[in-house]
Structure 1
């Protein structure tokens, strides 16, 4: 059979990354907030009432991306009323929590942004003092996450009463109210769409509709010589933009092919700065052959502008392995350790000493401290229980460089390789696909799955910007990570800070410019408490650190052993930027958060509206007829000059302040 491909793809190179505008947030003061922008407050502004100035400042805060609190209110000796509205990050946080190792997120950073106002004898309000600068990053457009008044309006109460009389369940009623109140972003009727013309037509119609709404939507359909659909790949603009930041390590998930669902769905999934799953493309496959996987990987690579991953996690499949070696020759392949260990009962359960083998195998895999230690323990297990003829153990031993922690921890895997699926990125569409789901139904639900993932990321962004997890030590490097990392990743760093109490550090020797330290950690190994020795090298001149546990190389989080060495050397104020991994930072403006998806509603999102208009304008320029190298050079120089101008305008206030 011959093959052909029908494709619809983005003809453009990656869009120019423009600096996003800070936005979002609502008030901590009860009441509704308008969604229109407000100009910056200045001294001398007058208002007719306290409510009016409060609404004004709440609207302004929402546009800028912070929350408002009423800081003070008092009556002066002159008979006037004075009050102060300010950023919710004002005041210093004092914890009353007894367990200081598990602090709650708090939004207090002693921020000075505020306005002071006084009420004149005629009732008018005059702003007497304004501070607009904040000492923290402003959040994204997430005003719906702020606490609001819990009081229902008269209309909503009446709706609840009528729905109750009509037999509508409470869950449906509240969902309709939340959608009506813009509680969920990007709602549409996709999930209810009944195409009724067969799966192939439904898929084609879905792609045509998506590309009409999103000019950077990419798909490729592989058909045979009788026009029968074989394989499909697709990715929307947000997936493609997210790959720029989270495509370094990806999981190729075949859960729905290999499990009871028998759904021919596979997905490319990365991990975002919160450790959450982020979709990087999907496909429907007719087979699991090497040829099919080569087609798929090559198509995905083309969609992602030729940027191959550094590492890719798959299951134990020879066809995938062959395709990866051809399409991603420089990528390191990993096998999900959790899935391998899940097969232990199936592969070894019939053995008379199964429980003992299972316990011993767990210790070999998770508690080996070096490759030689792993080899010694593995060999002893095989010999003691006469497992030389077990083909499954032979197979995974030959692939140990792809899954055993002591072999893979020298590379960055973004925490994906050894975690359980519930903690990592497998089964992205769980809850949207079941054993009875048809392809037509899946495409009706696909937008909802993406919408939920985007909502989870937006919510995590909101809390990372607007709450602060208190430090559990006085070390400067902990405060450094507190300001830089998302809440989820800062908590992981705090586990290492707290675990320093189990470590003892001593200097061993000099090796050239490197000081070698031994760190003895009292830890649990094979259900026993033992002292385990780790080796840390520190080049003080270059601030170069390395620990034999390789936690930083593996996850991007500095380990307790390195932190103990910094403490011993008196280097606790900060670490160099190299050790503050950009993948986990909350203060990076990532372009994918401003990319319009095909199911987006842009009403009320000024930043998305602006970006969408700019992208459309750039696309129009690119389509006008750039027929010569001179035309191309002229346009590229213009874009370069524009980027410089916008960057200067964005940074100039900070430069003036400095």
Structure 2
């Protein structure tokens, strides 16, 4: 049975309008909106669990799951401070695929939950259902600039719409928005001082390069700069570049984003750096294009980054012919978090390390990996499944045909 649902109809779903296998949608976004609205009415949160691309990097399959899927171990060791765990291992989920007709069709479905469902009046406060509209954002910004405290700022919005039952956000959402806008505004005179300093340096040496991106209201968003010695170093040693935004942030919580390589002494050398407001596709695309322009549009042969989807998409857009490698250290350090709950964790950890570090060929890696999955019943582990699907980005034996200057991590 096939049932097309238009985008404008997605928010008009009745509680009895159950999803069924065969339902089709124009896009994965439409499908997510539909399932999220269904979850809101039934009383459970929804999240995107997995997604799979084909060899042409076209999204082909997605899985949307109940927000209480998976299991999270409490990080608290003080029994007096234990907090309720929202993860219950719920297996309710919806799987869909992109067909030859361009439609997204529901292919698998499980609507059985292992936890109590909430009423719509409570489920609207799930993170997936909360949002700040443009008017609320504007009012929060104006009041914050006027020095009005956040609690009063939030209460004014609640009063204006007639009570908490009529708002689509909570005070925490307002706080996050205000803090982000404060980072955008920076401090009085800081932007002008920074620009004046860069211009002064450029007058002294016209080879100094800098670029500052602002939004529609002329507020600073992102900065990039590079000294002449950075550009000269890239000409000599720019075959491989590492890019990492996890190193540190400034007092405005703007991540520092350096482009780094190694010289013939295996010493780290800088190829330019930036301060960025967001770690999203748009920001990374701007930064990569700005850096590439500074480096005479000469893309590196290889780039090493952490395992971020936004970064991956931006690299595909800006450096289509550059080999992209994920930082192996970032991946391997997640093993205790992702697999520590298994009884056979020690054995799993040993086999996984052998598969990654000791496999001299792709065939050997596949053999060891599949043996591990079967022997320890890990077929349902989404993290391992996603890593295997992306093995060409991080497993050493798949990357040995590219020069990496003996680097494997940022």
User: Residue 229 of structure 1 is aligned with which of 212, 215, 220?
Assistant: 220
Q: TM-score under structure 1 normalisation?
A: 0.33
Distance in 1 (CA, whole Å) between partners of 2:287 and 2:208 is: 17
Match of 1:371 in 2: 362
Shift in Å, 1:356:
1.3
Equivalent in the alignment of 1:410: 401
> Contact 2:249/2:256 (CA < 8 Å) preserved in 1?
no
Closer, same or farther: CA 270–261 of 1 in aligned 2, 3 Å: farther
**Is the counterpart of residue 330 in structure 1 residue 343 in structure 2?**
no
Looking at structure 2, the residues matched to 340 and 379 of structure 1 have their Cα atoms a distance apart, in angstroms, of: 19
Q: CA RMSD for the aligned pairs?
A: 2.1
Tell whether the 8 Å contact from 1:256 to 1:263 is kept in structure 2 after alignment: no
1:209 aligns with 2:200: yes
- 1:519-530 map, 5 Å: none
Q: How does 1:293-442 map to 2 (within 5 A)?
A: 293-417=284-408, 426=410
| From 266, 269, 284, the counterpart of 2:257 | 266
- What secondary structure, in the 3-state scheme, does the structure 1 residue paired with 2:258 have? strand
Q: Which residue of the partner structure matches residue 278 of structure 2?
A: 287
| Offset at residue 209 of structure 1 (A) | 2.6
For 1:297, what is the secondary structure of its paired residue? helix
Three-state SS of the structure 2 residue aligned to 1:255 is coil
CA distance in 2, matches of 1:254, 1:324: 14
> CA offset at residue 213 of structure 1?
2.4
Q: CA deviation at 1:325?
A: 1.0
Deviation at 1:206, TM superposition (A): 2.6
Q: Aligned residue pairs: how many?
A: 224
**Deviation string for 1:530-557 (max 9, x for gaps)?**
xxxxxxxxxxxxxxxxxxxxxxxxxxxx
How far did residue 212 of structure 1 move? 2.4
Instruction: Decide whether aligned partners of structure 1 residues 252 and 197 sit closer, same or farther in structure 2, where only a CA change above 3 A counts.
Output: same
SS of the residue corresponding to residue 203 of structure 1 reads helix
1:205 deviates by 2.8
> Aligned partners of 1:205 and 1:264: how far apart in 2?
22
Give the whole-Å Cα distance in 1 for the aligned partners of 2:253 and 2:333: 19
Q: Which runs of 5+ in 1 are unaligned?
A: 1-195, 419-425, 427-658
1:429-482 per-position Cα deviation (integer Å, ceiling 9, x unaligned): xxxxxxxxxxxxxxxxxxxxxxxxxxxxxxxxxxxxxxxxxxxxxxxxxxxxxx
User: 1:625-636 to 2 correspondence within 5 Å?
Assistant: none
CA contact (8 A) 2:258 2:272 kept: yes
> Aligned residue for 2:240?
249
Give the 5 Å matches for 1:60-139.
Answer: none
Q: Deviations for 1:189-226, whole angstroms, at most 9, x for unmatched residues?
A: xxxxxxx9543233223312321222101011110121
Distance 1:292 1:377, change over 3 A: same
Alignment partners' CA distance in 2, 1:260 and 1:382:
45
Aligned in 2, Cα 1:247/1:368: closer, same or farther, shift over 3 Å? same
For residues 253 and 398 of structure 1, the distance between their equivalents in structure 2, rounded to whole angstroms, comes to 23
The residue aligned with 2:268 is 277
**Offset of residue 242 of structure 1:** 0.7
Match of 1:174 in 2: none
CA contact (8 A) 2:223 2:275 kept: yes
CA contact (8 A) 1:314 1:334 kept: yes
Q: Distance in 2 between matches of 1:245 and 1:358?
A: 40
Tell me how far 1:262 sits from its aligned partner.
Answer: 4.7
Summarize the Cα distance change of 1:390–1:262 in structure 2 as closer, same or farther, 3 Å threshold.
Answer: farther
Question: Displacement, 1:378?
Answer: 0.1
In structure 2, the CA distance between the partners of 1:329 and 1:362, relative to structure 1 (3 Å rule), is: same
Change (3 A) 1:206 1:352: farther
**Per the alignment, in what secondary structure is the counterpart of residue 247 of structure 2?**
helix
| Alignment deviations for residues 318-364 of structure 1 (CA, whole Å, 9 cap, x no partner) | 11111111111100000111111111111111212111111111111
1:316 CA drift (Å)? 0.7
Q: CA deviation at 1:283?
A: 1.0
Cα distance, 1:299 vs structure 2: 0.7
SS of the residue corresponding to residue 212 of structure 2 reads strand
> What TM-score, normalized by structure 2, do the two folds share?
0.52
Q: Is the 8 A contact 1:256 1:262 kept in 2?
A: no
Shift in CA distance, 399/260, structure 1 to aligned 2, threshold 3 Å: farther
- Do the aligned partners of 2:230 and 2:272 also contact (CA within 8 Å) in 1? yes
Question: Any runs of at least 4 consecutive aligned residues in structure 1 with deviations exceeding 2 A, and if so which?
Answer: 196-199, 256-263
For the pair shown, which has the larger CA radius of gyration, 1 or 2? 1
Shift of 1:371: 0.7
Contact 1:217 1:235 in 2 (8 A): yes
Are the counterparts in 2 of residues 214 and 236 from structure 1 also a CA contact under 8 Å? no
Gap regions ≥5 residues in structure 2: 1-186
Deviation for aligned residue 1:263: 4.2
Deviations along 1:282-320, whole A, 9 cap, x unmatched? 111111111111111111111001111111111111111
